[in-house]
Amino acid sequence: MSDLRELYQQTILDHHRKPRNFRAIAGADRTAHGDNPLCGDRITVYLRMGNGVIKDAAWEGSGCAISRASASMMTAGVIGKRNAEADELFHRVHAMLTEESNGDAARDVGKLAVFAGVREFPSRVKCATLPWHTLEAALHGTAEPVTTE
Amino acid sequence: MPPYQGGGDMIKSVTFEKTRYNDLPYKFEAGTPHIAGAIGLAAALDYLSRLGFDRIGAREEELLAYGTELLAALPGVRLIGTARRKAAVLSFVLDGIHAHDVGTVLDHEGVAVRAGHHCAMPVMERFGVAATVRASMAFYNTRAELDTLARAVRRAREMLG
């Protein structure tokens, strides 16, 4: 079995303990909810947009270390990105988390590469992807809560 | 009531004019019955009867008492469900650590538990927790395995706390 340290990397544990952008954005332009009821992971993603750029991104919710760290690093990673760039990053992260050969994808996600180890723990992949699917729902204005279960 | 499925033994006779279904319960037991399962169930019942349900109960109570003592002594552990008379299960939460993270660490240490809301969300709400970790013991478990559980919980806290 894969090493636990591959899953719970120091960076992930740091973001779990001290999540970044863990707040609501008053008057957010975009808001979306994600819910994995079997796990009990819940997240709300807030975005403030300006000129097609994500000016601010924040989140609130509760969940396991993987989902918290994923939401924390995701919001930090998409602030300042254009919509299309955030979409592109979503696809790369998703490929890294779910696809077999992801050597290229892992290189192109920057700091988010610390989540590459999650792929070896199939039951935990949905924890890491929930914030990202919720971000996508916010970017594309989906009203229904999203789930990755 | 018409048969829900066709197959061997659910039929009495068939002609072009008329089909007669078998009597109950055969009408609803189409095809080859689960023979291996029935034999296995009988063997399991023989085995349990030979051990004796009193002895099984006593053994599980002893394991429960030992496991409760071990977990209650660990810092950060809160046992959920502490009725005087209860089945040999240990549900607990670890302070500040989500049950699924605990489950992953325990799994890695060779301890299989269930983590989550256990299809009992109102109970989770009653205890004010999102999810719990649950170790279930049977008479064939050992004190050494409970020692492993306690070590693994300690490790989960070191790692994620």
pLDDT at A3: 82
Sheet containing A53-62, strands listed edge to edge, beginning at the edge strand earlier in sequence? A30-36, A41-50, A53-62
State the CB neighbour count (10 A cutoff) for residue A20: 19
Contact status of A14 with chain B (Cβ, < 8 Å): no
| Contacts with B119 from chain A: Cβ below 8 Å | none
User: Which residue in the list B36, B73, B119, B144 is annotated as catalytic?
Assistant: B119
Burial of B41 per CB tally in 10 Å (0-12, 13-18, 19+):
exposed
pLDDT at A37: 83
pLDDT at B67 over 90: yes
Cis amide bond preceding B25, omega within 30? yes
- Is residue A4 very low, low, confident or very high in pLDDT (cuts 50, 70, 90)? confident
pLDDT at B56: 97
Contacts of B76 (CB under 8 A, 6+ apart): B94, B95, B96, B97, B157, B161
Residue with tokens 């609501």: A24
pLDDT at A98 over 80: yes
Determine the average pLDDT of the residues in B83-99.
95
The CA distance from B92 to B90, in Å, is 6
Residue with tokens 């490790």: B155
Determine the average pLDDT of the residues in B83-106.
95
Return the structure tokens found at B79: 């046992």
Contacts of B110 (CB under 8 A, 6+ apart): B148, B152
The CA distance from A71 to A112, in Å, is 11
CB contact (8 A) between residue A4 and residue B104: yes
pLDDT at A21: 97
The CA distance from A109 to A117, in Å, is 14
The alpha-carbon gap from A130 to the nearest alpha carbon of chain B, in Å, equals 15
- Is residue A102 very low, low, confident or very high in pLDDT (cuts 50, 70, 90)? low
The question of whether B118 is a catalytic residue gets the answer no
Mean per-residue pLDDT of chain B: 95
pLDDT at A107 over 70: no
pLDDT at B111 over 70: yes
Respond yes or no on whether ipTM tops 0.85: no
Where do the domains of chain B lie, and which CATH numbers do they carry?
11-51 (no CATH), 53-160 (3.90.1150.10)
Where do the domains of chain A lie, and which CATH numbers do they carry?
4-139 (3.90.1010.10)
- Is residue A101 very low, low, confident or very high in pLDDT (cuts 50, 70, 90)? low
The CA distance from B53 to B59, in Å, is 10
